[in-house]
Amino acid sequence: MMSGLSRVNASAAVDEVVDILEDEGSVIIEGFVDETTLAGLWGDLGPSLSATAYSEKGYDGHRTRRLSSLFARTKHLVPVVTHPLYLQPARRIMQKPSHMWVGKSRIEVTPSIQLSATQAIQIDPGQGKQPLHRDDSLHLRRHPGPTSRVQLMLAMSEFTAENGATLVIPRSHHWDDERPPRYSEAFSSAMPAGSVLIWLGGVYHCGGANTSDKPRTSLTVSFDLGNLRQEENQFLAVPRETVLQLPEEVRRLLGYDLCPPGVGWNEMQDPYLLLEEDENLAP
Ligand SMILES: O=C(O)CCC(=O)C(=O)O
């Protein structure tokens, strides 16, 4: 029986973080970013986040603001995603060698990892709990199974049980796909600003309810296994003006599409809308 989420500080060893993640599925790291990085993130993202409308879908939160495309908006994400206690555990947990036959040769292949989603999330007072979910369900992964995602949530403001700190069910990545998650099994990730919660894609979690009178502000990024993508990079291979000459079905097949339950979005929307905008702007 667990009594809370494990926590370490930023001087912890990579081995310790890997061991906690593999066993418990999540860890809080206090003092993860320095004050300059935190202030830089607030400066680059804060004004746009406050100006963003509330999410349209209940799942994303009618009292929650979400701002994406974060690498286009700030350089201060670099120390977050390259932090040794995030990047190295993500590599150690996901970059497991695999074997295959190519003709008579039995070869070993180690996959890469890639940045997947980036999003600032502000949960305003009055927002209720999000449904508990697993992030690797986006790729329809089966459980228990190899980890394909390692996610990070940075507390840009203090996280408390009252203001909507992320709720996590420890060890739930070991569960199968038949066991439903219950809020009574979840623990709050209360932590000071500048700390992070890291969790594996198979762990049940959700945004908490904000019953306080102040917003809870955060930023989330994910690393996914590098092979969860198209073989040929169609976005680089086919110029946008050529894509615009193709029928809708082919544009969508090239990747300008959403895959249920929610992979491939741009600013939380169907990426096909970008092509329609381009068409409307064309002379
Ligand atoms: O905001 C949070 O604490 C969690 C958000 C989340 O899990 C999601 O939007 O999928």
pLDDT digits (tens, 9 = 90+) for 28-49: 999 999 999 999 999 999 999 9
Tokens of 32: 């993860």
Of 148, 47, 138, nearest in space to 95 by CA: 148
Sheet holding 196-200, edge to edge: 7-9, 26-30, 196-200, 149-155, 216-225, 113-123, 64-67
CA distance linking residue 183 with residue 133, whole number of Å? 11
**Degrees to nearest 5, angle at CA 20 with 16 and 22:** 115
The whole-angstrom separation of Cα 145 and Cα 131 is 22
Pocket flag, ligand 1, residue 202 (CB < 6 Å)? no
**CA separation (Å) from 234 to 81, 104, 228, 230, 241?**
26, 32, 14, 8, 13
Tell me, letter by letter, the H, E, C secondary structure of 67-116.
ECCHHHCCCCCHHHHCCHHHHHHHHHHHCCCEEEEECCEEEEECCCEEEE
Cβ of 121 less than 6 Å from ligand 1: yes
Distance CA 247, CA 86 (A): 42
Instruction: Fill in the amino acid letter for 91.
Output: R
What does the alpha-carbon distance between residue 85 and residue 273 come to, in Å, rounded to a whole number?
A: 37
Please tell me the pTM assigned to this model. 0.96
**Of the candidates 29, 234, 271, which has an alpha carbon nearest to the alpha carbon of residue 152?**
29
Q: For residues 112 and 95, is the Cβ–Cβ distance under 8 A?
A: yes
Per cent of the chain over pLDDT 90 is 93
Verify whether ligand 1 is closer than 6 Å to residue 206 (CB atom). Answer: yes
* Atom nearest to 218 CA in ligand 1: 1
Query: What are the structure tokens assigned to 179, written together?
Result: 């066991």
Angle 159-264-54 (CA atoms, 0-180°, nearest 5)? Answer: 45
% of the chain at pLDDT higher than 70: 99
- Please return the burial class of 237, using the count of CB atoms within 10 Å of its CB with bins 0-12, 13-18 and 19+: exposed
Q: Is the CB of 49 under 6 A from ligand 1?
A: no
Under a CB-based contact definition with an 8 Å cutoff, are residues 6 and 20 in contact? yes
Which domains does the chain carry?
Answer: 7-94+110-231 (2.60.120.620)
**Ligand 1 centroid to residue 207 C-alpha, Å:** 5
The C-alpha atoms of residue 66 and residue 54 are separated, in whole angstroms, by 7
Does the beta carbon of 209 sit less than 6 angstroms from any atom of ligand 1?
A: no
For residue 2, name the pLDDT band (cuts at 50, 70, 90): low
Ligand 1, from 160, 205, 210, 268: best to mutate by most atoms within 8 Å of Cβ?
205
The model's pLDDT over 126-177, given as tens digits with 9 standing for 90+, comes to 999 999 999 999 999 999 999 999 999 999 999 999 999 999 999 999 999 9
Mean pLDDT in the chain? 96
Expressed in angstroms and rounded, the spacing between residue 166 Cα and the centre of ligand 1 is 7
CA atoms within 13 A on the CB side of 194: 13
| pLDDT at residue 1 is higher than 70 | no
Pick from 5, 62, 63, 130 the residue to mutate for probing ligand 1's pocket: most ligand atoms within 8 Å of its CB. 130
- Ligand 1 within 6 A of CB of 207: yes
Ligand 1 touching residue 166 (CB < 6 A): yes
Distance 215 CA to ligand 1 centre (A): 14
Residue nearest to ligand 1 atom 9, measured at CA: 60
CA dihedral 18, 20, 26, 27 (to 10 degrees): -90
What's the pLDDT band for 56 if we cut at 50, 70, 90? confident
C-alpha count within 13 angstroms, C-beta hemisphere, residue 187 = 22
CA–CA separation, 173 vs 88, rounded Å?
Answer: 20
